[in-house]
Chain A
Amino acid sequence: MEGKLELPEGVVLKVEDLVVKFYTYSGVVHAVSKVSFYVKEGETVALVGETGCGKSVTTRALTRLIESPGRIEEGRVLFRRRNGEVVDLLKVDFETLRQIRGNEIAYIFQDPTSALDPLYTIGFHIHETIEAHVGKIPKKETLRRGIELLRQVLIPSPEVRVKNYPHEMSGGMRQRSVIAISLSNNPRLLIADEPTTNLDVTVQAQILDLLEKLQEQYKMGMILITHNLGIVAEVADRVYVMYAGKIVEEGKTEQIFYNPQHPYTKLLLRAVPDPTKKIEKLESIPGVIPSLINPPPGCRFTDRCPYAMDKCRREEPPLIEVEPGHKATCWLLVKRG
């Protein structure tokens, strides 16, 4: 046995050097390469990046939800449990993991339609989620809890809705229900994977507002995965920018938006049309994301980077702290000499 695991005060989750690879017929996909981040209690951390950057895989790996041909190869995922004990989620036995999933760590996935079982009512989903963690419990009791949860996520007439099947609800209602289910055991960490991507803007604003309020109420840590920088600006406390399986920049939301350091972050921010500003021309990032089967050595952004130097191609840039809490991996930040 190793010594007792520890986490700094107030930190609920700390990921260290996580590596996930997929062994496919066309080669080994380096989906997540040495990713490290942490989440404090009551904090919203955004994981931002474009399709295929590994943001979803990263969060699924936290509770080992990676299926074959994927494999978690390296790293530690330290999690502070409700009783204060710190565990490495990549090492704990399956039963402990089962107790944590859906109970202390809950997920909200992008598509509420496929997250719900069409054959069961919303009430039953909540009943099932609670029963899996507290053991046999009369349906009457969970029904009461279900109604209360649906009321919290602002579903009108929850007494009726709790008996509804998923197809009887609109997309926004379904996503609210999924949020209600995820909250049924008062999780310490909520992982929201593109929770509003399929929803209309007005419903999106409602859901984001709801998540913020619930988070305050439950003192949850939240990992918000999104490609929408607007949403990040609205709700995140801190941001991690991912590119091609790596975190290229991290910092407080203001630091990332007003003082971006990594060329990818800079370009990404200028590629988004801001409706409150007059924009002459959007910045487009030339080229495409490199294949993760044989990722280029050195910095993975080299081929698309306007400032790429020789060194970028050969050596991987170190993580440089530019101001307190604000770090980026880029050779441009390394002072010469």
Chain B
Amino acid sequence: MSENILLEVKDLKKHFRVRGSLTKKVRAVDGVNFYIKRGETLGFVGESGCGKTTLGRLVLKLIEPTSGKIFFEGKDITKAKGRELKEYWRNAQMVFQDPHTSLNPKMTIASILLEPIRFYKIDVGDEEEFLAKQMELVGLGREHLYRYPHELSGGQKQRVAILRAIITRPKFIVLDEPTSALDVSVQAQILELLKDLQRKFSLTYMFISHDISVVKYMSNRMAVMYLGKIVELGPSDPLFENPLHPYTKFLLAAVPIPDPKIARSREKILIKGEPPSPINPPPGCRFHPRCPFAMDKCRREEPPLIEVERDRFVACWLYASK
């Protein structure tokens, strides 16, 4: 495996059992392959239920995959347990969507931040001095250290959550909708902070969001998910300008553009209906019931994710013949 690749995922699956049924399964993530290079941001977009959050949790081993493999720095960590897993988490961290629930309301900011330090027995010298320095990284003053989460604003809380994730100096961070609970002006602050920290500590990000504009702004490459599968993956700019998969086309056309002239002059293509349930996904290509280009083959056979242009991958029979 190339030195350059930090994380690689092969045919990863997660099926959840449905309560009250022995056979029904939610195929939340159903055979996903991708890699993330060192220092890059790989964005994941998709609508609710497409499995992007489950994928983020799988990658960090917060939940056990049903099958498939996860490699971190070339090492198979799929079956990692105990000490090995602890070591992995020192290098791979997560920031959750809602800072109101991801910070323990009974702990002060200082004790929240000291938890990982003590867990990994990291020698930081004078704890208070260390924390005050760290707080500067995310633009907070030391006066916040002895406050409780409820005394901070949403943006400040998310800064604390980010600091908690980077305090052990990990290499990789999964950001699961880190700005979805925030206002636009605060969102901009947090996004800039994340970019800044990425440069400073050469971090690698997996950025998950339903907001395509935000993902495009943050990511070098992005992956579009539909019903547990990646349908398209490629560098963000070309992917946005020239989407290949029919679903990507519909998805991107639905993104509101904050520019009235462009918003009103572009062609409106509306997709019919809503994504079907991942409990019994349609056979063949999962998008075929809603796809205007569906052919016979699409109903029978699942299209593989293939490279159609340099670095551009798409799972669609329209491109498979070439």
Interface residues of A (CB under 8 A from B): 50-51, 156, 170, 172-173, 200-206, 209, 227-234, 253-254, 257-258, 267-269, 271-279, 281-286, 288
Contact B260 A233 (CB under 8 A): yes
Q: Tell me the bound Cα distance from A172 to B276 in angstroms.
A: 13
Q: Is B20 an interface residue, CB under 8 A from the partner?
A: no
Main secondary structure of the interface of B (DSSP, over half): helix
Complex interface: chain A residues within 8 A of B253 (CB): 205
Complex interface: chain A residues within 8 A of B216 (CB): 273, 275
Knowing A230-B258, A233-B259, A276-B259 touch, does A284 contact B274 (C-beta < 8 A)? no
Complex interface: chain A residues within 8 A of B213 (CB): 230, 272-275
B47 in complex: contacting residue of A201, A209, A227, A283, CB < 8 Å: A201
Q: Pick 11 A–B contacts, CB within 8 A, sort by A.
A: A50-B185, A173-B274, A204-B256, A206-B271, A229-B184, A233-B257, A233-B260, A234-B257, A257-B259, A275-B252, A276-B257
B178-190 vs A, CB cutoff 8 Å, 1 = contact: the mask equals 0000011111110
Q: Tell me the bound Cα distance from A284 to B186 in angstroms.
A: 7
Contact A275 B270 (CB under 8 A): no
Contact A203 B274 (CB under 8 A): yes
A281 in complex: contacting residue of B192, B237, B271, CB < 8 Å: B192
Contact B255 A233 (CB under 8 A): no
Within 8 A of A (CB), among B256-278: 256-264, 268, 270-271, 273-275
Complex interface: chain A residues within 8 A of B250 (CB): 202
Complex interface: chain A residues within 8 A of B237 (CB): 278
Q: Is B191 an interface residue, CB under 8 A from the partner?
A: yes
Q: Is B48 an interface residue, CB under 8 A from the partner?
A: yes
Q: Tell me the bound Cα distance from A227 to B66 in angstroms.
A: 40
Complex interface: chain B residues within 8 A of A229 (CB): 184, 258
Contact A231 B256 (CB under 8 A): yes
Contact A282 B191 (CB under 8 A): yes
Contact B184 A50 (CB under 8 A): yes
Q: Tell me the bound Cα distance from A281 to B48 in angstroms.
A: 28
Most buried by B among A50, A201, A233, A234: A201
Q: Considering only CB atoms, which chain B residue lies closest to A226 in the complex?
A: B256
Q: Tell me the bound Cα distance from A269 to B261 in angstroms.
A: 15
